[in-house]
């Protein structure tokens, strides 16, 4: 399984903080993102209408990368700390 986490505004809008996705549905980050846009009717708009960053195993990733069983993938808005 792949553990998917959402943070901040994105998690609020999707109404979920985490979910599990079978690895065969998400063999790389692009495939996972595509899967998520089809997960619920309104998710496509929420996920594609705003900047959305991603991290794999707690490291920021810009491009599409391969996933393996047990990976943790997080999606979140641009950060605003400090």
Partner 1 sequence: MISVQEQDFNQQVEYERLRCQSSIGAIVTFTGLVRDINDGHTVSDLSLEHYPGMTEKCLVDIVEKAKVRWNIIASTVIHRVGHLTINDQIVFVGIASQHRGDAFAACEFIMDYLKTEAPFWKKETMEGGETKWVDARESDQKTLSKWAL
- CB of 38 or CB of 45, closer to partner 1: 45
User: What residues are paired with 53 via a beta bridge?
Assistant: 76
Nearer to partner 1, 41 or 59 (CB): 59
> Which residue, 1 or 8, is less far from partner 1 as judged by CB?
8
Q: Which residues bind partner 1 (CB under 8 A)?
A: 5, 7-9, 12, 51, 55, 58-60, 74, 76-82
Between CA 33 and CA 30 the distance in angstroms is 5
Taking the mean position of all CA atoms in its chain, how far away is CA 18?
9
Calpha distance 56→21 (Å, rounded): 14
Tell me which residue has tokens 């979920």: 16
Work out how close the CB of 17 gets to partner 1 at its nearest, in angstroms, rounded to a whole number.
10
**Residue 69 beta carbon to partner 1: minimum distance, rounded to whole angstroms:** 19
């Amino acid at each position: 399984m792949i553990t998917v986490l959402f943070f901040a505004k994105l998690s609020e809008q999707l109404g979920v903080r985490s979910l599990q996705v079978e690895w065969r549905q998400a063999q790389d980050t692009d495939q996972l993102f595509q899967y998520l846009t089809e997960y619920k009717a309104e998710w496509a708009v929420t996920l594609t209408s705003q900047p959305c960053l991603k991290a794999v195993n707690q490291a920021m990733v810009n491009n599409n990368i391969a996933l393996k069983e047990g990976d943790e993938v997080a999606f979140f808005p641009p950060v605003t700390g400090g």
